[in-house]
Structure 1
């Protein structure tokens, strides 16, 4: 078995670091690849099926590594109820989904990880790629991905492992946090978080973007026609 991880502007830097540590600690072979999706104009145009182009590029890059094997992805049965154009790309490249074949949902996978002593992995919050924070139809750029990554990283350092998204919308940046936490934040705390987010947005090229906070809403940057 060989682990593969795509290094991309759309993948948070801390996620890549975590994968590297996981592989090193367990002496597992790890291939770091560039899926080259940022060179694909169909991907950067950010249509509703952006994930199809992302996964198509990824699987094409993985294919030479498994000429005599099988590419396996981490899709689980909970994912099957969502709009997942990346699954079409998986079908086109004969990718298998072991968790789906075993009938495992997200909660089952977390329990399995705990039973294997992988508690740190089991407790990781959901973390879609950074491009999912960019409103459908708004071009995916390295600058915006960097802003999103740095703002989310700074706020998580402050708030801990909470549900948090920095959305890039046509109107500017909207930072969404766990609804219960958002409801409990005082005006003073919100001012501090706004100042922190503003600093990191400005430092990474976002000085002209407006910035506001809202309660988290799943998939709010995805505009399905």
Structure 2
């Protein structure tokens, strides 16, 4: 099936649901899903963005701007994961705890707005990683239209570019809590450290970055084609100095480079069940 056939399939999937609240983070997938949903369903769509300590301000600003530019009704809700019992202890099922609370809150807003369904933006590539949050998706009856249409991340980027969405080449984003090894305490202060560190790297021109938290060590992940740039003496010194100011005693570069879910690499198959 061609990418454009998949797009038509996606539109039919959306059309068959009369109205929807779209869980909208402002990332590549949810922006594409929201845009297509709005084109198909018109004013029978509302975007819902959850704001919390794990969600950078830049992402919220971009989400608000997109909804405004496209005249899409947009609700911002507070969903503070750190207030969820057990979340800050960072257990292996941390994502489930977060998504379970999130979809409860989104459901309440969807009901207020008279929306029949809730959409979320997972794509078929997400099936290959450990994602306990998908259990909450199933439990709350949330629909994943991009998965139903069998769209991959690369196809979503391609279609986003054709549609003129400036998110087509946006870096992949995951909640800041994913920067911590399981069992490592998550606090607002530590999340702010990660946010500041990643924003600094983005401001230096690095496009796809992760800063993983290992107590007094910051482990930087960038794409391998960025290695030459990051180890330039002047750049290296800037990063080291800024990260020291942020609160990291040591700064390390991960030689494997950027990849999603690197904190899952140490989990056993039993822990992933």
TM-score higher than 0.5 here? yes
Instruction: Answer yes or no: is 1:212 the counterpart of 2:259.
Output: no
Contact 2:210 2:221 in 1 (8 A): yes
State the shift of 1:217 in Å. Answer: 4.2
Q: State the shift of 1:10 in Å.
A: 0.5
**CA–CA distance in structure 1, aligned partners of residues 81 and 235 of structure 2:** 38
Moved over 3 A (4+): none
Partner of 1:90: 137
Residues 1:34 and 2:81 aligned together = no
CA distances 1:3-23 after superposition (whole Å, capped 9, x unpaired): 011111111111111001101
Superimposed CA distance per residue, residues 16-52 of structure 1 (whole angstroms, 9 cap, x where no aligned partner): 1100110111111111111232111321111111111
Per the alignment, residue 173 of structure 1 pairs with: 218
Q: Does 1:16 align with 2:60?
A: yes
Determine the structure 1 residue equivalent to 2:263. Answer: 221
Determine the structure 1 residue equivalent to 2:186. 140
> 1:183-209: CA deviations, max 9, x gaps?
45223431222113323x1xxxx26x4
Are 2:176 and 1:125 equivalent residues in the alignment? no
In the other structure, the counterpart of 1:74 is 121
How far apart, CA to CA, are the structure 1 residues paired with 2:151 and 2:108?
A: 29
Q: What stretches of structure 1 of length at least 5 have no aligned partner?
A: none
* Residue 61 of structure 1, aligned match among 95, 105, 108: 105
Tell me which moved more, 19-28 or 188-197. 188-197
Instruction: State the TM-score, normalizing by the size of structure 2.
Output: 0.75
Q: Tell me the distance in 2 between the aligned counterparts of 1:177 and 1:194.
A: 15
Q: What is the Cα-based RMSD across aligned positions, in Å?
A: 1.7
TM-score scaled to structure 1, two decimals? 0.89
Return the alpha-carbon distance in structure 1 between the equivalents of residues 101 and 201 of structure 2.
Answer: 31
3-state SS of 1:159 partner = coil
Shifted more, 15-24 versus 32-41: the winner is 32-41
The answer (yes or no) to whether the contact 1:169–1:221 under 8 Å persists in 2 is no
Tell me which moved more, 102-111 or 215-224: 215-224
Structure 1 residue 178, shift from structure 2 partner = 2.0
Q: Is the 8 A contact 1:52 1:89 kept in 2?
A: yes
Structure 2 contact 110–118 (Cα < 8 Å) conserved: yes
For 2:240 and 2:224, locate their aligned partners in 1 and report how far apart those are by CA, in whole Å. 17
In the alignment of these two chains, the number of paired residues is 217
SS of alignment partner, residue 55 of structure 2: coil
Secondary structure at 2:75's aligned position in 1?
A: strand
Shift of 1:171: 5.0
Aligned to 2:156: 109
Report the 3-state secondary structure (helix = DSSP H, G, I; strand = E; otherwise coil) of the residue aligned with 1:33: strand
Could you list the per-position Cα deviations for residues 39-88 of structure 1 after superposition, in whole angstroms to 9, with x for gaps in the alignment? 11321111111111110010011111223511110010000111111110
State the alpha-carbon separation in 1 of the partners of residues 71 and 141 from structure 2.
28
1:149 aligns with 2:195: yes
